[in-house]
């Protein structure tokens, strides 16, 4: 069995490096962690205990039909959806990004509400626009779209819709056609 080295703060991630047992990569000098959905909340709790007190944002991404390299380390299987969380450790002046792969056939990840309550609206937005379900969220209702809206408009396979526009016939008002 091969041993995997722990990540050294301030150094680019070596292939196969881990932080708290989670694969890590480097994106332009920023540490990026790639937990499984099952390790996601545990990882964020550990990082909070380490000093990452601020969750800057959370968003969802739809990679449907996205060709090319997505910057995932070897051992992380790309899925259609991804949940991305950015954390800050102010005391040590560090930022860390978390990227969780979420499959199309089971778009469910645990909610971070119990660890970072300020992400409540961000999780609702990702649910509303992409259909990612955050299990354990206290109120996963629509936040941007009407309650009767069908579907999730930021999914790349969602119809862009159409609003019928009716123009006046320019000859009806006596105007001449060019």
The model's pLDDT over 30-84, given as tens digits with 9 standing for 90+, comes to 999 999 999 999 999 999 999 999 999 999 999 999 888 899 999 999 999 999 9
Exposed / middle / buried, residue 32 (Cβ in 10 Å: 0-12, 13-18, 19+): buried
**Reported pTM:** 0.82
The total of structural domains in the chain comes to: 1
- Please give the pLDDT value at position 159: 79
Question: Which whole number is the average pLDDT over 111-138?
Answer: 98
- Please give the pLDDT value at position 3: 40
Closest CA to 36 of 79, 4, 94: 79
What CATH number is given to the structural domain containing 84? 3.30.460.80
- Provide the pairing of β-strand 108-110 with 133-135: parallel
pLDDT, greater one: 158 or 110: 110
Per-residue pLDDT of 138-156, as tens digits, reads 999 999 999 999 999 999 9
DSSP, collapsed to helix, strand or coil, labels residue 160 as: coil
8 CB-near residues (< 8 Å, 6+ apart): none
- Please give the pLDDT value at position 177: 55
Distance of alpha carbon 107 from alpha carbon 132, whole angstroms: 5
Q: Which domain holds residue 122?
A: 1-178
Place of tokens 């550990």: 46
Strand partners, 4: none
Residue 1: pLDDT band by 50, 70, 90 thresholds? very low
109 CB-near residues (< 8 Å, 6+ apart): 37, 40, 83, 100, 102, 132, 133, 134, 135
């Amino acid at each position: 069995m091969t041993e995997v080295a722990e990540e050294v703060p301030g150094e680019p991630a070596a292939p196969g490096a881990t932080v708290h047992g989670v694969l890590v990569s480097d994106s332009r000098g920023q540490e990026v962690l790639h937990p499984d959905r099952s390790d996601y909340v545990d990882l964020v709790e550990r990082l909070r205990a380490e000093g990452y007190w601020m969750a800057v944002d959370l968003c969802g991404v739809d990679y449907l039909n996205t060709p090319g390299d997505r910057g995932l380390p070897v051992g992380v299987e790309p899925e259609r959806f991804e949940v991305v969380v950015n954390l800050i450790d102010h005391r040590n002046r560090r930022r860390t990004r978390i990227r969780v792969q979420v499959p199309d056939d089971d778009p469910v990840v645990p909610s971070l509400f119990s660890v970072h309550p300020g992400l409540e609206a961000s999780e609702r937005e990702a649910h509303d626009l992409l259909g990612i379900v955050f299990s354990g969220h206290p109120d996963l209702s629509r936040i941007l779209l009407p309650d009767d809206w069908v579907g999730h408009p930021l999914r790349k396979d969602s119809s862009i819709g159409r609003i019928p526009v009716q123009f006046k016939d320019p000859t009806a008002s006596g105007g001449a056609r060019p």
